[in-house]
Structure 1
Amino acid sequence: MRTGSSSRTDGGPPDYQSIVRRIGSGVGHVGSEYALQDGDFRHIVKLVMDTAGIVLSEKTRAFIHGRLGRRLRILGLSDFAQYCRLLEGPEGEAERHNLINAITTNHTNFFREPHHFDYLSKTILPVLAEASSNGRRRLRIWSAGCSTGEEPYTIAMTLRDHRPSLTGWDVKILATDLDTNVVAHAAEGLYDADRIESIPPAHRKRFMNGRPDEPASMNEELRSLIMFAPLNLLESWPMRGPFDVIFCRNVVIYFDKPTQRRLFDRYADMLKPDGWLFVGHSESLLNVTDRFDLVGRTIYRRAR
């Protein structure tokens, strides 16, 4: 789902405690529970909306309380009021990244919603290969909201399966996410055994390295196709495009309708004419934008 610098998984930069000391008194003993007052919750909800476009409701309050309670323990803060002051302070930018990372859910699998990769393989790539007869041999795919990397690596496997028809092509996959921690994880390309069970055995043998007692790593054949980068979809996009295909699956469900409309307009502008857009199984462009035509199950093609 995203821009920002890489975040430490141990809770942030080492000078956080000096920041905390400047917030006010009461820091020292960290209780096991923290009350999330209404005003602090509303403050966090607004900050998340303004920063990442993610809409939080009262239904998410317990979830937010649990996730951010861990941040308070790490930082040595005694209540959410201090946390809010840290977020708004002059040195709070790094913690705002950690806030977004903490509340973002990153559930994904290899070959999730397999009909999308079947469509990419059996419909889109043949169309592009046929069109290459005019000399165009460039393919660009964007995985927007790549999470821990399962999606872009699955795309890369699908493309490598079509190596003969893509011989001599300039092929690149851009993989971005708001959560700097998961982008770093994805770039490493290391996965435990339970994470790769959905990869067909033949693909595991061909595209992955490692012994049974070690995390499996994606090989260079896949890694060479992908560039990972943090990116906030609500901010400026440094790439120019155009892209042939954009995957934005299970991302816009966190946004309100106006934000969705703006985002899909930007995707249409970033796609080549007749380019394809894939969205998640519970998402739809109906009554959101008229710039795409539905061509398959949660598969759209740019219309204008």
Structure 2
Amino acid sequence: MTQVAGAESATLSDQAFQRIAKIAISDAGLLIPPSKKALVQSRLSRRMRALGLVSVDAYIDKVESAKDVAERRELISILTTNVSSFYREDHHFEHLRSHVFKRFEQKLLAHERVRIWSAGCSSGQEPYTIAMEIIKNLSLSARSDILVLGTDIDPAILERARKGVYSEAETSSINSDDRDRLFVRQGASFHACEKLRSLVRFRELNLHSTWPMAGPFDAIFCRNVLIYFDDAHQKALWPRFRSKLTPDGFLYLGHSERIHPLEKSGFISQGATIYQKAQ
């Protein structure tokens, strides 16, 4: 008879926590400090109950097994914090409107492609916000080659992003006219319209693995993601982001994130958490 894991049996020892933290840093660059031990235990307990496991060590053994790659990915997913909202850190979208969209308009008129990458897009609010601004501010035609790519390490959260369905509370930061025009209300939820969804593609991606997309991107949003990485993994990303940007492309970071040291990064600062690829 399969035993069901209870609260006591799922107690996370310091040694077990270190094993989990080691997997998180090696597989995804996620830095999990000891202060997060209770949170990790809570998330592991839910997963163990779903699997019918009693012992934390048995679960970690399963994750570490070369035969269970899927569960290893599941662990990274449950350790990931998925927080997002529409128009979060609005000064970035103001920068798009005032400094970047004119360039996009010129490229589209010249029949050139425009690509924007939302890295760590969570449940999709960020890429859909970018798409809303594109619709509102650019003259689009059937020939316009413009696309927003949203990527995240968590396949479950990406499924929600693809559906584009949000509650009234989640859409409260959207201007009511824009919400009425670009979302379809069904009961208590709001569904992103086809025009909005057609501008966005979602893909699963671990930022610390191979990036299959060719680029280049005219802008990259990677906001409130790097705060979960250690310094070494953060620094490893700067040249990779730079290599994926167009010569005058922009990189947008979260409010508490900075490129350091800036002078050696190949970027120049263009405002609060806004960076441009240096020539």
* TM-score normalised by length of structure 1: 0.87
Of 153, 158, 165 in structure 2, the residue corresponding to residue 178 of structure 1 is 153
Of 122, 133, 138 in structure 2, the residue corresponding to residue 163 of structure 1 is 138
Q: Which structure 1 residue ranges, 5 or more long, are not aligned?
A: 1-25
Mean CA deviation greater in 26-35 or 191-200: 26-35
SS at match of 1:50: helix
Contact kept in structure 2, 1:129 and 1:166, CA below 8 Å: no
Write the distance in 2 (CA, Å) between the matches of 1:35 and 1:255.
26
- What does residue 17 of structure 1 align with? none
Q: Return closer, same or farther for 1:283/1:166 CA change in 2, 3 Å cut-off.
A: farther
Write the distance in 2 (CA, Å) between the matches of 1:37 and 1:123.
51
Task: Please give the per-residue CA displacement for 1:2-51, whole angstroms capped at 9, x wherever unaligned.
Answer: xxxxxxxxxxxxxxxxxxxxxxxx95243233221122111111011111
Write the distance in 2 (CA, Å) between the matches of 1:131 and 1:174.
18
- What does residue 67 of structure 2 align with? 91
Write the distance in 2 (CA, Å) between the matches of 1:218 and 1:132.
24
Aligned AA (1:172): L
- What is the aligned-residue identity percentage? 39
Write the distance in 2 (CA, Å) between the matches of 1:63 and 1:287.
32
Task: Please give the per-residue CA displacement for 1:45-104, whole angstroms capped at 9, x wherever unaligned.
Answer: 101111101011111111111111111111111111101111012332111121111111
Question: How many Å apart are 1:194 and its aligned residue?
Answer: 1.1
Write the distance in 1 (CA, Å) between the matches of 2:35 and 2:268.
33
Query: Is residue 2:8 matched to residue 1:37?
Result: no
Task: Please give the per-residue CA displacement for 1:260-304, whole angstroms capped at 9, x wherever unaligned.
Answer: 111111000000111000000000113265211000111100014
Listed as ranges, the matches of 1:51-62 within 5 Å are 51-62=27-38
Q: Which structure 2 residue ranges, 5 or more long, are not aligned?
A: none
Of 266, 269, 285 in structure 1, the residue corresponding to residue 240 of structure 2 is 266
Of 137, 147, 169 in structure 2, the residue corresponding to residue 194 of structure 1 is 169
Write the distance in 2 (CA, Å) between the matches of 1:29 and 1:255.
34
Aligned AA (1:280): G
Mean CA deviation greater in 77-86 or 163-172: 163-172
Question: How many Å apart are 1:173 and its aligned residue?
Answer: 0.7
- After TM superposition, the runs of 4+ consecutive aligned structure 1 residues lying more than 6 A away are none
Write the distance in 2 (CA, Å) between the matches of 1:132 and 1:172.
12
Q: Return closer, same or farther for 1:132/1:152 CA change in 2, 3 Å cut-off.
A: closer
* TM-score normalised by length of structure 2: 0.94
Paired residues, what number?
277
- What does residue 96 of structure 2 align with? 120
Of 183, 205, 214 in structure 2, the residue corresponding to residue 208 of structure 1 is 183
Write the distance in 2 (CA, Å) between the matches of 1:225 and 1:89.
40
SS at match of 2:88: coil
